[in-house]
Amino acid sequence: MSTAAIATLIKMVESLPESTQEQVVAHLREYVADLHDELRWQETFERTQPQLSAAAQRARQEIAEGKAQPMNYDQL
């Protein structure tokens, strides 16, 4: 984000009553924390993509070879 965008955001928040400013900051903190969590999840997913692809390929092969069985959800 550019410095101008941050300055605009600060001016917008500063124009609000102090109690509302505190609410906005709390919401922004939560939002930014959620964004960080999402980025970590995405990075983890990208790192494990080769393993997930290999597991899917093995599953397709086992199905084709008749080695797979339908899942019995009652046994979980």
Which pLDDT belongs to residue 76?
Answer: 80
pLDDT digits (tens, 9 = 90+) for 5-45: 999 999 999 999 999 999 999 999 999 999 999 999 999 99
Q: What angle do CA 70, 60, 56 make, to 5 degrees?
A: 100
pLDDT at 1 over 70: no
User: Per-residue pLDDT for 69 more than 90?
Assistant: no
The pTM score is 0.60
**Secondary structure of the chain in the HEC alphabet?**
CCHHHHHHHHHHHHCCCHHHHHHHHHHHHHHHHHHHHHHHHHHHHHHHHHHHHHHHHHHHHHHHCCCCCCCCHHHC
